[in-house]
Structure 1
């Protein structure tokens, strides 16, 4: 059995290289015929296959854009890729021609992980449109404001309590905030132990997605035949990785949804998105039993909300905390505003946010300074097209260097510095002439993230609450040595800071009392 498996693997590899050579020949023909955009010089047979950087690829892509232009072609054997290095290029193609640029490339690794249900990466079609419609119905700006903000406020204040009691676990508590908020909103879970279980489940599954989505991290994405190599053979890392994480991905999608269905079957009413969506679909079908298609749609909509909020929002909150440790003057300015608008006798709530202009600028700068999704989610071209006189063949994968756009000094002078003031005019109001980073951070065209309203709402109230009561500094390490913070993020598809402040304590005795009062209020 082992010998036949090895033989099959060797045959697959040889066959793959034959196919590779053929496709390379075809690619060269298209290059001559179609005048593809410029890019790094390809090598014989493999093209740019081994030019993909594994660490912080967005930095390499920016250098390529500076050398070859803002539309850079990578000559790959199986998947031709175009890197969009400027906002203008992204708008021209993904926004203005969204009818042909709204598809998604199919990821070998996400398929192996059974992550195909995520409609953020789902092919553009009827199922995607149905899922997105239902998602919008339950997470549009009005619904977030009137139905979900109470949970967001409660969870943000519970975060303050956790940090007060165990400040050494502050980063862990922050990582739980988005997940616990969305779990309560989507599945109505109130039991702390069950919520923690769901949060850990999401972290495991999404950790796999982050690692699998880094361009070049798995050669199976560029050479799909490698997916067939058994996990126990050299070169079988794609299958080894997916076999480890696939159970968590499936459980994240199904376990909390199944529990809501079981509760409904027992006659219970659960105020949450899953309950409301199931009832909505039952009424549309005229029966208590969902069709297979309705069941799929409901699981997708709820799981996507669960997955999306539990990851990108976490990275943004962590970036904010790091920025406060690096830029104490920003922290002081925001706290002066909070003291003036909110005062010392209560915590901020959503009614205060409109008057907290500088805090709003801090939120915008948090999104810009360390983008949570540096390369966005790839688009796929559904028909041949032209751009700047160059030919883009059908099936081309387009990647957006959102990180480079956020670091463009023409839009954002001194882009590496954390400067909320860049978004304010001379009167201290939000300046509409400065590019809003939300137009980059949440994607382009018809694939703009539908959960952006929920994410911004939670991020805003969390930032305002933490600034109002905590002092954030670098602190000291386990050896009592001063921590030297750096603004460096990880190289995963969802990029979060590598370092984190160690000193997060109440900024006054009154601030501590406010937090402790929240503990009594929650317990009551």
Structure 2
């Protein structure tokens, strides 16, 4: 009885809140004599809750774009979600109106898992700005040049492993990316097998996928559910939440402590975390502890973000080259012409490898690793193309639709690196 009453109360509270949200949004629309962007017809109160695709959402949004246009909207319990299906709409809002559209929505699942350390998913705040400043200091193009020798060494090791055990190519790719991220951010050399830091990242990503993919959509629109006890039916995901919280805190503090210990011993290598710590070395003790926490969380954001995305992109490159041997032959011929088949290419050769550069671009276009990116949130009311977009709207760029627009990329499902080259074979900038 108690569990049923608690669940009923949560649902009633959510529905009541949604009524007020719907009324408020409608009132603002009526006052401005405007309407939301078109989209699937919402049901009373729950809106488009049952229209949200459970998988491959980017494909569904692309099909909806053919019906409703480049900008469409949905509503769930009064919360507005806007989907952008064209490069023009994305550029107009995310670039030209960036002060309004660059924040992030509150994600109840992140709150439950205590993942506020993840800079990429946080809304505008003083802490976010400080994290951004610290990451820019270590990752801006001019700063990353100093890490090129390290990256080259890691890549050469990867190639040797690939030659000796080609069937384990996926494992080698994961090791390569982990080795580069850990050296870049923490000055740490990962173990050849069973590295504990790489295992930590893997375990955390598994937890995140299992919880975010299956539970987040419901929690985002019924955040009151996060307050219900774990023993209620349907709340078992909270067990994963506890594990995710523990792993997340370990990701933040454990490699950070490794850098601090090495700095005390005088053995710390140049890395993003060390450089940021040196910047706050003279800070007063009362502020230094807070600054160090921000550094630890900013570093963990990079550590976590690079674990899967680059691995997916490199794996897609392998797939593309296997499926398109003609592309592989053309790229190899260009490499041989530059290196005379006597050495491996270096950073200085990049400008002389336009076809290889085009292959990399086509990999990211053809099978983008994040087809809908990370959601944005509006910080104030806006009007675009005659449509009203309320403050607090979640805005999603359908990167898949943008990169598969047949008007911009003819035969979008075909893998054609030459689309990024001029007629005379130079890079089309």
Aligned position for 2:296: 299
Query: What is the deviation of 1:267?
Result: 4.4
Residue 8 (structure 1) aligned with residue 6 (structure 2)? yes
Shift of 1:324: 0.8
The two structures have a TM-score, normalised by structure 1, of 0.77
- Distance apart, 1:168 and its partner CA: 2.3
Conserved? CA contact 1:52–1:216, under 8 Å: no
Residue in structure 2 matched with residue 200 of structure 1 by the alignment: 199
Q: Which residue of structure 2 lines up, in the alignment, with residue 172 of structure 1?
A: 171
2:229 maps to which residue? 230
Which residue of structure 2 aligns with residue 23 of structure 1? 21
Deviation of 1:375 after TM superposition, in Å, equals 0.6
- Judging changes above 3 Å, is the alpha-carbon distance between structure 1 residues 191 and 204 closer, same or farther for their aligned structure 2 residues? closer
Aligned residues of 2:131 and 2:294 also touching (Cα < 8 A): yes
Residue 272 of structure 1 is matched in structure 2 by: 271
Shift of 1:348: 1.8
Following superposition, the deviation at residue 167 of structure 1 comes to: 2.2
Match of 1:406 in 2: 403
Q: Give the distance between the partners of 1:182 and 1:298, measured in 2 at CA.
A: 16
| Distance in 2 (alpha carbons) for counterparts of 1:286 and 1:226 | 42
Provide the residue aligned with 1:488 in structure 2: none
Q: Any gaps of 5 or more consecutive residues in structure 2?
A: none
Query: Which residue pairs with 2:348 in the alignment?
Result: 351
Residue of structure 2 equivalent to 1:504: none
1:220-258 CA-to-partner distances (Å, cap 9, x unmatched) read 112111212333322215423312322222211111001
Per-residue CA deviation, residues 363-400 of structure 1 (Å, 9 max, x unaligned), is 11111011111111111111111011111111111110
Counterpart check, 1:368 vs 2:365: yes
After the TM superposition, which of the residue ranges 50-59 and 265-274 deviates more from structure 2? 265-274
> Is residue 2:234 matched to residue 1:247?
no
**1:339-380 CA-partner distances (Å, limit 9, x unpaired):** 111122222221222211110010111110111111111111
Conservation of the 8 A alpha-carbon contact between 2:19 and 2:78: no
Deviation at 1:25, TM superposition (A): 4.5
1:386-465 superposed matches below 5 A: 386-432=383-429
Q: Secondary structure at the residue paired with 1:279?
A: helix
Task: Please give the alpha-carbon distance, in whole angstroms, between the structure 2 residues aligned to 1:235 and 1:274.
Answer: 40
What's 2:380 paired with?
383
Query: How many residue pairs end up in the alignment?
Result: 427
Q: Which ranges of structure 1 fall in alignment gaps of 5 or more residues?
A: 433-524
Q: Is residue 71–residue 83 contact of structure 2 (8 Å, CA) maintained in 1?
A: yes
* Residue 150 of structure 2: aligned partner: 151
Q: Are the counterparts in 2 of residues 54 and 217 from structure 1 also a CA contact under 8 Å?
A: no
